[in-house]
Amino acid sequence: MNIHAVVGDMVVVDNMELGHPPRKGEVLDVMGDGDATHYRVRWDDGHESLFYPSNTAHVVHPAG
């Protein structure tokens, strides 16, 4: 899956289990390029991790 996010965008990962909310986080850094792009994300629970997008993820660009 190839999504395009920039610093400040929100990443939303849909939960495949019924009744569980999606996971959301803010993009802090963009690393790699092309199909190897991955992101450093601060999740809504305060944890940070490297994120490699999957087909359950999408990007929400902040209203400008």
Reported as a single tens digit per residue, the pLDDT across 28-60 is 999 988 778 999 999 999 999 999 988 889 999
Global confidence as pTM: 0.86
Q: Which of the pair, 4 or 63, is modelled with greater confidence? A: 4
CB-based contacts of 46, cutoff 8 Å, min separation 6: none
Mean pLDDT of 11-17: 89
Quickly tell me which residue has 């490297």 as its tokens: 50
Grade residue 17 by pLDDT with cuts at 50, 70 and 90.
confident
Q: Is the pLDDT of residue 64 over 70?
A: no
Q: What angle do CA 6, 29, 35 make, to 5 degrees?
A: 70
Strand order in the sheet with 57-60: 48-51, 38-43, 23-31, 10-13, 57-60
